[in-house]
Amino acid sequence: MAVVTQVLRSEWTKIRSVRSTGWTLGVAALVTVALGALISALVRHDFGRLSPHDKRVFDPTFVSFAGTGLGQLAMIVFGVLVVSGEYATGMIRTSLAAVPRRGVLFFAKVTVAALLAVAVSMLTSFAAFATGQSLLGRYGTSLDDPGVLRAVLGGGLYMTLITVFSMAVATMLRSPLLSLGVLMPFFFLISNILANVKVTRKFGAYLPDQAGQHIMRVIPDRDGAPYGPWGGFTIMCLWVAAALVTGYLLLKRRDA
């Protein structure tokens, strides 16, 4: 247990000593809150022009999370840099020499980064919600309404899982450029295309981000997904778990 504690402290020292940690997490928070605020203000201005159907399915909570799509990209960068930065500098050899038990090293790195991510993500989620609802005015909602608190907490959990998934992929690929080259297009373009094209929509609904975003909804999405908020969250958790297991197995079997 003492060894695990020491490795956790070591990983915390590594993360906080890297300048990119602060600015990536800061950008994630700023973009998520600012874009959510902008969309909320625009929706309030144009609410009277919405069709009767759109007004019935209007989800003020999810509107305040409109910036999550861009904010998650910064969380992806954070997750990738936490892992692949050591490969890029060659420090991974030193880390593995100091901690020969690779499972302990992998557990510590993921745990420390995930705890930092969940703290920032939760603060960002509540800030985005509060800002968005204030700008929506009479069209907004409150944490006391059914399903709202779950959605706001879900926003923080979603961003955290995106970070952990990115760390797992970076462990598999080892290269920061290759990891970002795979993750950025996938989450920003490919996933959205697959989820919105009629031929691939059923498959796209089970991708990690598409399924996970349902936890942030109070009003069910109109995409006809065969699962609810917790079902979608569970699907995302399975993706993350599979990525972590694969990353660990590759780390254990490969040379540094």
Q: What is the per-residue DSSP string for 118-184? A: HHHHHHHHHHHHHHHHHHHGGG---TTSTTHHHHHHHHHHHHHHHHHHHHHHHHHH--HHHHHHHHH
- In tens, the pLDDT along 131-157 reads 999 999 999 999 999 999 999 999 999
Q: Of how many residues is the chain composed?
A: 256
Split at pLDDT 50, 70, 90, the class of 9 is confident
Distance CA 252, CA 235 (A): 26
CA-nearest of 25, 28, 19 to 71 is 28
C-alpha 102/C-alpha 256 separation (Å) is 11
Q: Does the predicted TM-score (pTM) go above 0.95? A: no
The number of domains in the chain is 1
- What are the tens digits of pLDDT across the range 151-195? 999 999 999 999 999 999 999 998 899 999 999 999 989 998 988
Amino acid at 254: R
- Domain of residue 168 covers 2-253
